[in-house]
Each structure stands twice: as C-alpha cells, then as structure tokens.
Amino acid sequence: MKVGVLGLQGAFRRHLDALTRLGVTAVEVRTPAALSGIDALVIPGGESTTMSMLLTSSQLFEPLAERLEAGMPAFGTCAGMILLATGVSDGRTDQRSFGVLDIDVRRNAFGRQVDSFERDLPVAGLDDGPLHAVFIRAPVVERAGPAVEVLARVDEGPVIVRQGVALATAFHPELTDDLRLHALFLERVG
C-alpha cells in the first residue's frame, strides 16, 4: 500500500512519519506524476488558501480532483479538511476545494482568543480511551450533510467527520504519538 501526503505546504512531515510507523509506504506528492502511484492521500494542515493556490500553479488540482471523484481515499487534517469540504466561508474568493465531504466549514472560526487549544475527545469507534487533539486556527464545521458520520464533536460543532472513504479532522492528529486516526483511515484504503 502506498499513501501520498500532499507536500506543497504545511505540516506534512509528521504525517509521513505516522504512516511509516503504521507500516505503509508514504511518499510526498508535489507533482501530477506523483499521483499515479498512490492508493490514498493525506492532505495536511497549513494554510488552505496557500495550498489552493499551489495546487493550481503546480497543475495538481484537476488530476487530484479526478482521482478523488473516482474514489481515492483521502484524509484531510485542519487545512486539509477545508480542502475536502463542499462549502468554505471566510476564505479567499478564489479559494478552491474538492467537495468530497458534504460539509460547510468556516475558517479560523474558533475565535481570535483561542487560536490554539487542546482537548481530550471521545471518538466513536475508538474504544481504548479519548484522543488528545491539538487545534491550531482550526475550521468550524457549520453544516454536515446526511451522508456524513460525525465521529467526534466539541461545543462548536463536529471535529472528526467521515463520508465513505473520506475522513477529516479539524485538528492536527499528527502532532501526537497516537496513531489511531491514521489507522482508522487506512482501514478503508485498498
């Protein structure tokens, strides 16, 4: 199994480590050619506005959209969640997203006072204790469609969502040593 991590910008290195620790081959994806060999893709945190621009300038956006539409599994974290969403508020007007998750998100919506915070989250389907979640200028999920499973939430809304082979978190699971969400993602790959 070969899993790509979008490596245009942002917090992609620790995702490569997490995947490698779970025994899969993990590769950075920066070019359209790198897409052809992968079975699934992680879209990391960072800045979704910048990633959107770089996806366009690197000519990755269209071929990646085609792979996602054809059912390639994807795991988006923070900015990656924004890129998988259907609706994005408080972004740039030219910001693009792939729309493989039927959710609407608002960027940086946890409020100026709490740019970053941490929570222990109970997660549906993970029985061995709560997951420690690190939120950094995270998006709030303002709407989740009927096909979307909410695996964890906070007062402001859902923070782990899944729809078929697409999984997303509003926080950064790669910043802790807990590999359970990456493992959950890999269950639906291949």
Interface with ligand GLN by CB under 6 A: which residues?
A: 45-48, 78-79, 82, 107-108, 136-137
| List 15, 78, 156, 182, catalytic entry | 78
The residue among 39 and 178 lying less far from ligand GLN, judged by its C-beta, is 178
- The helix/strand/coil state of 30 is coil
| List 15, 156, 172, 182, catalytic entry | 172
| Least spacing, CB of residue 69 vs ligand GLN, in Å | 22
Q: Active-site residue 78, yes or no?
A: yes
| Least spacing, CB of residue 48 vs ligand GLN, in Å | 3
| Least spacing, CB of residue 14 vs ligand GLN, in Å | 12
Dihedrals phi, psi of 47, to nearest 5 degrees: -120, 115
Q: Active-site residue 172, yes or no?
A: yes
How many Cα atoms are found within 13 Å in the side-chain-facing hemisphere of 35? Answer: 19
Q: Which residue has the tokens 């608002």?
A: 106
The residue among 4 and 76 lying less far from ligand GLN, judged by its C-beta, is 76
| Least spacing, CB of residue 71 vs ligand GLN, in Å | 25
Residue 80, H or E segment: helix 79-84
CA distance 1 to 24: 6
Beta partners for residue 25, in sequence order: 2
The residue among 54 and 82 lying less far from ligand GLN, judged by its C-beta, is 82
The residue among 73 and 80 lying less far from ligand GLN, judged by its C-beta, is 80
Q: Active-site residue 118, yes or no?
A: no
Catalytic residues: 78, 172, 174
